[in-house]
Structure 1
């Protein structure tokens, strides 16, 4: 972990243990540390694997559980775990005395944000803000929205925000890490009959459907198209050998791995990306400015990935392909059409770049500092509203 030497005080960040929550938290941490603040992180056990890369002085693991209804025993267990988490977070906040607690979604944010609002030595007077990366507010953030001082959003209109919380909403955009900003470069469209660099990934855990569908789609391309492909694909560990065998059978030498630590660079290198449409993914595609075929996760309760993908597709920065239509035959058609249309790809790259916000982390840091120092919110953050 990076040890900060900031003297302006401590900002406590709280995020679920997936890349979708941790990456925007990391982006804010990088800016705050550069401005002289100290940063600690509260997350769950999953966040441990990001520990070496997250620029916090300390990482605090707090028990968390998904809030579900239905089974009374499950509800009691969840309430017990949440109660323990709130008490531990209350004691932690009392010891650390942060200026602001910032939540980035996921159930591990519940305990520290709730604890910050409790009276006594562990809370009371600690300012709180949540940031939601999606076009629809997540369930954990909806549970917290009524009690925080500010709600930062990535989109100008946010579903599930609620009219009563619109007055505390500030639009900052979706923060992206320095590793993303470092690779921003003009799009270099594919040359006719030249290499075509295709990147396929499915989120921090990979996505099995890409392992099921993409090899069959590549096999359906004609020999001329297949011969141009330079393919990089993220696969689950258990899927790699079968995917590699499928590609070897059709003469494709693909680079396969369960995780790419340099994913922003690989996005920048790609002519086309095929991926899910989580908020961080869409934000990074837009800031880097690369065209994508977006396949939203279909089982998300609030359809957040569908709304994220729709926003980028409506801006003409990518193409929405719902999972029921994501078949080898359909994907082969999409790939062939894009490979034969470099101007279309260049236009989509430009459109994606136009909706990206490379200053989102800076803007969110401005908001956090305003809360910490009792100043009015930055004027440029006005405009978020309930959809």
Structure 2
């Protein structure tokens, strides 16, 4: 009789930046039996494919200071550790993979208490507090940027990049773009990650008339939290909360204006899309600024602190880039040079090696 497949529990929750790399990995591990660990009412309930059974636990991130609320969260954390232990034992799992976030805490503690191999993936250039604390407990910490290794001195780190969805690796996917955009016009794509970015949206709408006059089309992904999302109407302006075919859109774009979450940056780099980056100023430990620095240091993007970026500055920098197609092309080439198109394969190989060694 053939040996039963190895079983892997994937703990990934909350945002596209945590979920998409984990889904890309799962798709590469078809020989494994995979289940998911998530949180009720978060994005994984929509994004995790149906072939991966979803287990949920009730856990939250800690807030600053000691309060009744933090005591309640602590109780949930302790309870969730025992829940994950039960899931791992009852399912006879051979290992755990996580992409971080607050779900990683109880997952790593539970797996470690059972002596199971743990693979952590950290996509940011500045690893999060959870990664820095739990990384030494893991068999390996796979990192998205080489720069992250300096913050994880007591961990076994392996730089594999950050996996992207398969469609981003199709160099001809722009042919599937189903938006009413002429072939011979410059296209600016604006997006703020899976949560949207209201402050960026406002800036862009103030700048847009000058960009329209320069012949550009704007595809503006506003997110679903912007009360002024429908305030601008123009024949060269396409606005929607989200767009599913991001790979095609980024390959068609001449320029992107974006936050600098690790997942978004990886998608920009794989597609070779030049970018103006506006790091989210309230990100934990300002980690988006560390991410954007990886791109600006090699000339793949321009980056501006939100507090210093005026409509006038953004308007002129975009116009300057649109008038310099050679500079845009160089930025795109430099972006491709710092990415790992085979990241999902590299990460899958690492997972196989660790689980095979028990």
Question: Could you say whether these structures have the same fold, taking a TM-score greater than 0.5 normalized by the shorter chain as the test?
Answer: yes
Aligned residue number for residue 27 of structure 1: 24
CA distance in structure 1 between the partners assigned to 2:332 and 2:203 by the alignment: 24
Is the Cα contact below 8 Å between 1:276 and 1:296 reproduced in 2? yes
Pick from 317, 320, 323 the counterpart of residue 300 of structure 2. 317
CA distance in structure 2 between the partners assigned to 1:174 and 1:239 by the alignment: 29
CA distance in structure 2 between the partners assigned to 1:161 and 1:361 by the alignment: 23
Larger displacement relative to structure 2 (20-29 or 43-52) = 43-52
When normalised by structure 2's length, the TM-score is 0.91
Aligned residue number for residue 157 of structure 1: 147
Q: Deviations over 1:247-306 (max 9, x none)?
A: x3xx44422111212122211111110000000111111111110111101122322110
Return closer, same or farther for 1:7/1:359 CA change in 2, 3 Å cut-off.
Answer: farther
CA distance in structure 2 between the partners assigned to 1:30 and 1:37 by the alignment: 10
Aligned residue number for residue 85 of structure 2: 90
Pick from 242, 246, 268 the counterpart of residue 263 of structure 1. 246
Query: Runs of 5+ in structure 1 lacking a partner?
Result: 1-5, 187-192, 376-387
Aligned residue number for residue 324 of structure 2: 341
1:74 aligns with 2:69: yes
Secondary structure at the residue paired with 2:230?
A: helix
Query: Runs of 5+ in structure 2 lacking a partner?
Result: 175-182
Aligned residue number for residue 207 of structure 1: 197
Return closer, same or farther for 1:55/1:302 CA change in 2, 3 Å cut-off.
Answer: farther
Q: Deviations over 1:301-357 (max 9, x none)?
A: 322110111101111111112212222111110111011011111111111111111
When normalised by structure 1's length, the TM-score is 0.84
C-alpha RMSD of matched pairs (Å): 2.2
Aligned residue number for residue 161 of structure 2: 173
CA distance in structure 1 between the partners assigned to 2:39 and 2:76 by the alignment: 12
Aligned residue number for residue 218 of structure 1: 208
Return closer, same or farther for 1:76/1:50 CA change in 2, 3 Å cut-off.
Answer: closer
Q: CA deviation at 1:27?
A: 1.1
Q: Deviations over 1:59-97 (max 9, x none)?
A: 111111112341232331121010111111110001112
Summarize the alignment of residues 358-373 of structure 1 with structure 2, pairs less than 5 Å apart: 358-373=341-356
**Number of positions where the alignment pairs a residue of Structure 1 with one of Structure 2:** 348
CA distance in structure 2 between the partners assigned to 1:73 and 1:159 by the alignment: 37
Secondary structure at the residue paired with 2:29?
A: helix
